[in-house]
Structures are given as C-alpha cells and as structure tokens.
Amino acid sequence: MRTKKFVFEMLVLLVIVSMALASCAPAATEAPAVTEAPAVTEPPATEPPAATEPPATEAPADPMAALYEAAKAEGMLSTIALPHDWCNYGGVIDAFKAKYPGIEVNELNPDAGSGDEIEAIKANMDNKGPQAPDVVDVGFSFGEPNKDLFMPYKVSTWDSIPDGMKSADGYWYGDYYGVMAFLVNTDVQPDVPQDWPDLLDPKYKGQVAQSGDPRTSNQAIQAVQAAALAFGGSLADAAPGLQFFADLNAAGNLIPLIANNGLVAKGEIPVRLTWDYNGLAAIDSFAGNPQAVVVIPKTGQFAGVYVQAISAYAPHPNAAKLWMEFLYSDEGQLLWMEGYCHPARETDMRARGVVPEELSAKLPDVSQAVFPSAEQLVSAKELITTQWDSVVGADIKAAE
C-alpha cells in the first residue's frame, strides 16, 4: 500500500518535472525578432502617400483606405498600458473608434509600466491571441535597447517628427512629452514651492512624495534626474539629484507613500512630483476641490519623452499601423494636446498654424525644455535604481 502510493507520487513528480523543463526550453530557443523583419519591406501603400495623392487634410485618402480595409479585416487592436486620464488617451481611443468603426480596441493592463509592456511582448511571442499587445507606449530609454522586439514603420507624417525623438530606421518614435513638475494642493499648502531647493524648507515637512517607486518607476527615476539639474548636476550626472532626495528624506520632508490624486486631494500629500500633464489633468478632475496648481521648477524644464512602437509579433499589424497613422495625424496629436501633453509634431503643427489658440494657451510654456538622450537616461537609471536604497536610506524605517 505504502509503496504503491510512493510510486504513484514519484511518477507524478517525474511527469511534472519533465513538463516543466520542457516548457522552459522553447522560450529560450524561440526565433528572435529577426525573422519578423520582413514586415519592413511590405508597408501596403502607406509609404509613398504624398507623391501620388493630392494632399487633402492630414493623410491622403487612398492608401489610408486600403490600410483601413486591411485593419478592419483583422478586426481588433490590442493596446497596453494606456490609462484614460493619461494625456487624454480616453479621448484618443474614443476618437479612433469613431473614425474607424469595425475595429475593436482591446485595452490590456492599463496600469502597466514600461517594463511590463516589454515583458508582455516577450511573453506573447508565440501567442496571436488577444493577450498579445500590438502597440506599446514606453519610456524613451526603453526604445533602442528593445528594438529587436519592434516592427519598423514610418508613418506618413514621419518627416515632421524631430530627429532627436525617433529612431532613424523607424523602430520607435517619440509621441509626446511633458516636463517634471510639482502638483501642489493649495488648500493645504498655500505656500507654493517654485523650485527644487525650496522643497527642503521645513515648512514642507512630511509633505512631498514621488509618484512611484524610484527603483522601478520611470516617472520617479526621472524626477531624481530632473532634480540633479538644480544642484550642479547635469543630464549626464544624476548623482546630485540622488543627494537631494537623501537630504529631503533626512529632513523628514519626503514621505515614502506613492502619491496619487486621491492622496493629494486628501491633503495627505500636498506636493506631488509628477509630469506636468498629469498634474494639469488632476486639477481638471478636482474641479476646484481642492484648489491646486502645477509648478514647473525654475531650474530646469526636464522633458520626459515617451515613444510608440509596433510589436514585431503583433497579431494585428495593419490595425497597429492604422493606429499609428491616427496618432501622428494632426487630429491625433491635437487630442494629446487636450491632455496637456506636448505632441512630437508640435513645432511643425504650430508652424502650419493648425493649433487652436485656446488649446495652445492651456499648455504650459516649455520652450526651455531639456531633452536627455537615451544614453543619459540609461546611465541615470542605472545609478538611481542601484543607489537609491543606500544613498536615500530606506534602511531608516527598517531599523524601527
């Protein structure tokens, strides 16, 4: 009796172990992105638009129509990590659905971070189901290192995207940017800080918080990098930023809570470090309760750029391309502006006078914005994530 049970269990164990080992192996040997590259050569008539068509509004009708038909045949677009209140993605998605009926927009994991999005592409390489994202919107530093996972594609308005914001061969392209700012609940803290050093003042004791964990969140890491500009650092040297946060923490001004709008509204976190567009959208949602302002620090408008890319394993490549065309059309770019983000083609659009006056007025002045390069972002990320614990001192509370 005992031995039978034992044998049974061993058999089960053997089956389990072999299945597990096998299920691991394929993932490693899976054909990498290279084989997907053929997509580059195929763009179905979206490459030479302006040449043949009379330039009507933003995009010529015919090639777009062909793309639309192809996308409609696919029937679905899977997006990931697009919260509706972020840069007015809610408005963007609704407009896309209205303009191109017949394509279902399947929104995956709206609370994912850039890393999660890359993971999602990797995890779904063999998977053509609705779990696999077609398009991603990730932090700038995630573009180049992951280009093997992307399918290159140049939208019809490619040329009006600034060079510094896109990959030359079309793997990824900047979509919008904002600058690091302070969102201040003026009901609780009427004394609004104007710059980074102001935050060290004792009157902000226990009032300042990041929007994410600096060891994993893009937004939080770039806040540290932005602070460096005010303390003798530069885009290439983020160490002073780290030191600033250490000082902020030692002074008791920095709270470890991850700030969100609820906590700002409650007054628990009167000063939230976040992108200006998030702050401005928050003020809209507060609708006067509480009163709040967004302040861009005097010493340095640090721009954070996000980039779009199409997954090399996208189950619906044509829908993905149509989406990109939409986003980079004047219409799409303006919708982002309504979310307080500065779209990539802003300079071009302003030059052509397509930006409405009221919309233009709503956006903060970021003419002095500095744009870190990808290498600077990556090296800062290295520094900040590895040293945050030791420099800023997460150990303080653990000792309690």
Question: Does 26 interact with another protein (rule: CB under 8 A)?
Answer: yes
Stretch that binds another protein, among 19-27, 148-156, 237-245, 357-365 (CB under 8 A): 19-27
Question: Does 27 interact with another protein (rule: CB under 8 A)?
Answer: yes
Question: Does 53 interact with another protein (rule: CB under 8 A)?
Answer: no
CB of 359 to another protein, least distance (A): 21
Which tokens sit at 395?
């150990």
Cα–Cα distance between 296 and 264 in angstroms, integer? 17
Q: In the complex with another protein, which residue's Cβ is closer, 63 or 212? A: 212
Question: Closest Cα partner for 182 from 334, 364, 360?
Answer: 364
CB of 390 to another protein, least distance (A): 9
CB of 101 to another protein, least distance (A): 18
Q: Is 358 helix (H, G, I), strand (E, B) or coil?
A: helix
Stretch that binds another protein, among 49-57, 124-132, 147-155, 319-327 (CB under 8 A): 124-132
CB of 100 to another protein, least distance (A): 21
Stretch that binds another protein, among 38-46, 226-234, 238-246, 391-399 (CB under 8 A): 391-399
Question: Closest Cα partner for 62 from 46, 74, 73?
Answer: 46
Residues within window 57-86 making contact with another protein, judged by CB under 8 A: 78, 80, 83-86
Question: Does 38 interact with another protein (rule: CB under 8 A)?
Answer: no
CB of 343 to another protein, least distance (A): 20
* Terminal Cα-to-Cα distance of the chain (whole angstroms): 54
Q: Which residue in 92, 103, 209, 228 binds another protein (CB under 8 A)?
A: 209
Question: Closest Cα partner for 248 from 398, 388, 382, 400?
Answer: 388
Q: Which residue in 19, 61, 250, 351 binds another protein (CB under 8 A)?
A: 19
Which tokens sit at 196?
């980074």
Question: Does 51 interact with another protein (rule: CB under 8 A)?
Answer: no
Question: Does 385 interact with another protein (rule: CB under 8 A)?
Answer: yes
Q: Which residue in 6, 10, 75, 127 binds another protein (CB under 8 A)?
A: 127
How many angstroms separate the Cα of 21 from the Cα of each of 8, 16, 25, 361? 20, 9, 7, 59
Q: What is the dihedral of CA 256, 259, 265, 266, to 10 degrees?
A: -30
36: Cβ–Cβ under 8 A, 6 or more apart, which residues?
151, 312, 313
126: Cβ–Cβ under 8 A, 6 or more apart, which residues?
30
Q: In the complex with another protein, which residue's Cβ is closer, 113 or 297? A: 113
Which tokens sit at 277?
């567009």
Q: Which 8-state DSSP code applies to residue 146?
A: G
The residue type found at 315 is P
CB of 28 to another protein, least distance (A): 4
Cα–Cα distance between 182 and 271 in angstroms, integer? 6
Question: Does 22 interact with another protein (rule: CB under 8 A)?
Answer: yes
Question: Does 203 interact with another protein (rule: CB under 8 A)?
Answer: no
105: Cβ–Cβ under 8 A, 6 or more apart, which residues?
76, 77, 79, 93, 96, 97
Residues within window 92-121 making contact with another protein, judged by CB under 8 A: 106-116, 119
Question: Does 123 interact with another protein (rule: CB under 8 A)?
Answer: yes
370: Cβ–Cβ under 8 A, 6 or more apart, which residues?
229, 235, 300, 301, 302, 303
Q: Beta-carbon neighbour count of residue 190 at 10 Å? A: 10
Please work out the total of residues on this chain that contact another protein, with binding judged by CB under 8 A.
Answer: 82
Question: Does 264 interact with another protein (rule: CB under 8 A)?
Answer: yes
Question: Does 159 interact with another protein (rule: CB under 8 A)?
Answer: no
Question: Does 91 interact with another protein (rule: CB under 8 A)?
Answer: no
Question: Does 263 interact with another protein (rule: CB under 8 A)?
Answer: yes
Residues within window 298-357 making contact with another protein, judged by CB under 8 A: none
Q: Which residue in 102, 145, 206, 356 binds another protein (CB under 8 A)?
A: 206
CB of 49 to another protein, least distance (A): 33
Q: Which residue in 56, 289, 365, 367 binds another protein (CB under 8 A)?
A: 289
